[in-house]
Structure 1
């Protein structure tokens, strides 16, 4: 997900709007309705999103550990995704809620926190996108090349791939420790440290981030989902082969359910993050003109649109547990077994004859 406008915070937009209203009319004008709505959303929605998201991600981690991540590479991806989503929620939502409720910006506590905030936010958003890419590719390989799958995807290789991806994204975002901080040429705000770095953030890195966190992952997941849907349709039309053993058929059914779950998850990612991506593309062309012409009402409208798109995108980090329980029968039954303090579901779901108990 793209976060290209995090350097220009909502507070700065509001200050710009109010200052220009006063300058143009020589009177103190009340904030626009869009500003009030945006502020109300940031005061009321982050806490419910945080509670729902944290509860879901913690439960997802516990269920995945019960299901046995060592033997199933897909579950390793989902575990890392849940941890990353938790980092996103804990980093972004409390900071915005505290700012709009108590008018205190956590980024300004220290120069180190300012730098670290930008680094973690961009890194976690991007990493979440690329974990979904890894899941999509893994499912596509398993459904299209089942015989080669076990040789390609092992626990060790999945872990290496996840850590190499994280390392590459760290390299992409390490510049924040040098280009951003609490500066004194612009009233001590937490943003770019100089006009030159500001130009890099607004006109160079904005496109790097857009490609890394949105465009490239979107294209890869789109292609993989097409391949997955194609295979699912073929499997639904196939009749059971009498030559297959009951355990083979059971494994195929489990694989199909897992694939359906991941197709829905990646589809929701695209739906939730696409509005924010489109907004940032439009923002790059329209906002400079609005600021130059001092069109405060238009800036307030864009501020509201950004808030709505941002909160929708953050919902993507909250819903995975609920998607898994609604779509994947095995995940749901493992969750129920955990709540009842029963043994792992996969060890007791079938009798020796392969029939459900």
Structure 2
């Protein structure tokens, strides 16, 4: 998901793009990015660092779920420090970092696509693992091991890196000349896709592929897994209630109640993460889908495109910055591990 959008969307008569790397951005966009995105980046990076420490030092650090969530925290930090920070610099400081050099053009063009989609697929992996733990709990320790989680993350990063490699190889700095409506003109250095690149002539197909990898396929998998989890939980609850009734209404907690409570907490956490991902990313995905459709001009008012872009991207970055708060709200074990890291002599965060 390219944070700066396509230069074809720019209204040249408004002189949004000026000489060099300086950009003239509307004041309301600057205020919106400064007020909304600044705390998301700062608090999001700090929160994900805390989450990373909890997952690698806490009591559940040797579980596959902890490995997945550690990788997710690291991916979210990269999203906030790279695409989100570039977005902030563009709209708040009015500087186009991509246009400064050949390296920065390729660097940001590539990682702007790669880091968010990597975060999405790590969340897909942990969601699938939770669904498996609910449906095949007796084999989960065999199927889902910490080494398996690390292997999946590594393979996923390699595959996605290769898929998005054409963005890196095909992007570069070019000089464009824009004409004003009064007959004047100006030139500008811009980071764009070379006309001779492999994806230039099929860029719409590429955008559809990115949309599928970033949202449509992950959304479908997470929706299916979460529905199956909730269905299984309901079935187990009904079976437990029928068993208690058959025993004459005995209501004492069965053995293994603590592990069942932890399973419910972890499952609830993954469902909330998945729902948050879908809510935060669906508007941008729908917006991009409309942009590449034939009826975009009839659906979207050109005067509102800039507003949609900045709001939907801030919402996307919010998804990468709120996981720490979600962990604290949902899991008491996470809160205990987090507090235990700051207690002198505490063994809370050093024991399994």
TM-score bucket (shorter structure): 0.7 to 0.9
Matches of 1:279 and 1:288 in 2, distance apart? Answer: 9
Which of 267, 277, 281 is the equivalent residue of 1:273?
281
Equivalent in the alignment of 1:77: 68
Q: 1:226-241 residue pairs with structure 2 within 5 A?
A: 226-237=227-238, 238=240
- The answer (yes or no) to whether the contact 1:98–1:105 under 8 Å persists in 2 is yes
Give unmatched runs, 5+ long, in structure 2.
Answer: 17-23, 178-187, 245-249
Q: Aligned-pair distance for 1:323?
A: 0.4
| CA–CA distance in structure 2, aligned partners of residues 95 and 287 of structure 1 | 30
Q: Which consecutive residues of structure 1, in runs of 5 or more, have no partner in the other structure?
A: 21-30, 291-296, 350-357
CA displacement at 1:46 relative to structure 2: 2.1
Measure the CA separation in 2 of the matches of 1:176 and 1:337: 44
Could you tell me whether the CA contact under 8 Å between 2:54 and 2:334 is conserved in 1?
Answer: yes
2:138 partner SS: helix
Name the counterpart of 1:207: 208
Alpha-carbon displacement from aligned partner over 1:31-50 (angstroms, at most 9, x marks no partner): 9xx95433321233221111
1:129 counterpart residue number: 120
Among candidates 322, 327, 330, match of residue 325 of structure 2: 322
Aligned to 1:8: 6
- Kept in 1, the 8 Å contact 2:166–2:198? The answer is no
Q: Counterpart of 1:18?
A: 14
| Matched position secondary structure for 2:341 | helix
Report the counterpart of residue 19 of structure 2 in structure 1: none
Paired residues, number = 327
Which of 78, 85, 100 aligns to 1:109? It is: 100
* Alignment-derived partner of residue 345 in structure 1: 348
Q: Could you tell me how far 1:329 is from its partner in structure 2?
A: 1.3
Q: In the aligned structure 2, how far is the partner of 1:5 from the partner of 1:299?
A: 18
Q: Does 1:261 align with 2:269?
A: yes
Change (3 A) 1:134 1:244: same
Q: What displacement does 1:16 show?
A: 2.5
Look up the match of 1:170. Answer: 161
Q: Is residue 56 of structure 1 aligned with residue 47 of structure 2?
A: yes
Say if 2:143 is the partner of 1:152: yes
Structure 1 moving runs of 4+ over 6 Å? 240-245, 346-349
Cα distance change of structure 1 residues 81 and 38 upon mapping to structure 2, 3 Å threshold: same
- Rounded Cα–Cα distance in structure 2 between residues aligned with 1:4 and 1:95: 11
Which residue of 2 is the match for residue 309 of structure 1?
Answer: 312
The 3 A distance-change label for structure 1 pair 287 and 18 is farther
Tell whether the 8 Å contact from 1:179 to 1:192 is kept in structure 2 after alignment: yes
Residue of structure 2 in register with 1:294 after alignment:
none
Higher helix share: 1
Q: What displacement does 1:245 show?
A: 7.0
Whole-Å separation in 1 of the counterparts to 2:350 and 2:35: 44
- Residue 321 of structure 2 aligns to a residue whose secondary structure is coil
Pairwise CA RMSD: 3.0
1:191-249, Cα deviation, whole Å (9 max, x unpaired): 11127667446412101101111111100000000011122233444259899974x22
Distance in 2 of aligned mates of 1:121 and 1:249 = 44
1:47 aligns with 2:38: yes
Q: Secondary structure at the match of 1:184?
A: strand
Shift in alpha-carbon separation, 1:174–1:128, aligned structure 2, 3 A: same
The alpha-carbon distance between structure 1 residues 159 and 55, as it changes in their structure 2 partners (threshold 3 A), is same
Q: Give the drift of 1:51.
A: 1.1
Relative distance call for 1:235 and 1:37 in structure 2 (3 A) is farther
Matched residues in 2 for 1:198 and 1:134: separation?
29
Partner Cα distance (1:315, 1:219) in 2 = 21
| Aligned residue in 1 for 2:84 | 93
What TM-score do you get using the length of structure 1 for normalisation?
A: 0.82
Label 1:228 to 1:326 Cα distance change in 2 as closer, same or farther (>3 A): same
